[in-house]
Amino acid sequence: MSNTARIRGAFLNALGRPVILRRRDAEPTLELGPDLAVPADLSLPAVVRVGEETFEVTAPSRGEREISGRVALVTGGAQGFGAEIAKGLVEQGCFVFIADLNGEGAAAKCDELGAEVTHPITVDVADEESVAAMADEVERVTGGLDLVISNAGIVRAGSVLEQDVASFKLSTDINYVAFFLVTKHLGALLARQHETAPNWLTDIIQINSKSGLVGSNKNGAYAGSKFGGIGLVQSFALELVEHGIKVNAVCPGNFYDGPLWSDPDRGLFVQYLNSGKVPGARTVADVKAFYEAKVPMRRGTTGIDVLRAICYIVEQAYETGQAVPVTGGQVMLSS
């Protein structure tokens, strides 16, 4: 088991700011003993020797916000909400791992956002070995992590009377089981880091859905997996609080401008137009207008809407186990 997350924790603890640790073959300017006592006035960058290993320790320039400079990981970051979130986090001065089944897409997104502030990972979040390897890669590249966005998800809509069980299970694996796997392996990394940084709070945020708060007609596989996600969020929050990890969900409404809805060939707007799901609709624009009219604020959710909720959750030190709706008023919490 690598000790790097514990070493990063010692820096977080002493300096009170996010840092990145990279293995380097260079002359050390500081040597840490087994107690990992980091001088609070240490100026960065520094080259630090710990036992047999040497690390370059860097810190991003201080941004204005609490979230600035954090090391984040976004699953499903190659496109859609994930890509928007990754972009927004980079703009906030974060270092972002973009982790996706579509490795080429993740790499292209990293090139677009800046190779020095991003790192692509090819991962299948529904596969435990793949997720464990992702956690190892994170520790190797930055030494640790501050923020996990569990965003990868799929929709397999269909009537309960007709849907095949394989589609139901695929939806459950990627939307529900994967959140368990991501929390298990990245949560373990965050917990090791916390051993030496007892006052440093970290975050795991699931991108859930309004369909995790209210049922969705002929879309039970999706809504069920998302409702289940809220149960995991609440339960993991109760358990992981002792490791300084907050666990919350963001529940967006429909992202009408994203590829899921607007892809000209396979998007839901085209599908609904062709299947006649919206009575009287003759164009994609008619279908879009029909769905926008369901939202009190008369538009779909955008990436920046979700990013603002993420910033709120990270910067709000006194909240865990919550589901934050971002739906333009379409879904309201009730108790």
Ligand X SMILES: NC(=O)c1ccc[n+]([C@@H]2O[C@H](COP(=O)([O-])OP(=O)(O)OC[C@H]3O[C@@H](n4cnc5c(N)ncnc54)[C@H](O)[C@@H]3O)[C@@H](O)[C@H]2O)c1
| Residue with Cβ nearer ligand X (69 or 300) | 300
**DSSP designation for 157:** -
| Residue with Cβ nearer ligand X (14 or 207) | 207
Strand-strand pairing, 95-100 and 118-122? parallel
Concatenate the DSSP letters of all residues of 291-308 into one string.
HHTTSTTSS---HHHHHH
Spell out where 51-192 has E strands: 53-58, 71-75, 95-100, 118-122, 147-150
Cα separation, 171 vs 167, in Å, equals 6
CB count within 10 Å of CB 173 equals: 17
Cα separation, 252 vs 120, in Å, equals 25
Closest Cα to residue 209, out of 164, 157, 244, 163? 157
Based on its alpha-carbon atoms, the radius of gyration of the chain, rounded to whole angstroms, reads 21
Output the six-digit token pair for 167: 């589609």
Shortest CB 130 distance to ligand X, Å? 8
Closest Cα to residue 310, out of 116, 156, 85, 130? 85
Residues that bind ligand X (CB under 6 A): 75-76, 78-82, 100-102, 105, 123-126, 151-154, 174, 207, 209, 252, 254-255, 258-261
Shortest CB 163 distance to ligand X, Å? 17
Output the six-digit token pair for 150: 């569990």
| Residue with Cβ nearer ligand X (55 or 269) | 269
| Residue with Cβ nearer ligand X (73 or 197) | 73
Q: Does residue 256 carry a catalytic annotation?
A: no
Q: Are 232 and 208 in contact (CB under 8 A)?
A: no
| Residue with Cβ nearer ligand X (12 or 121) | 121
Shortest CB 81 distance to ligand X, Å? 4
Shortest CB 250 distance to ligand X, Å? 9
Cα separation, 103 vs 73, in Å, equals 14
Shortest CB 306 distance to ligand X, Å? 8
| Residue in 222, 272, 291, 312 annotated catalytic | 222
Q: Annotated catalytic sites, by residue?
A: 222
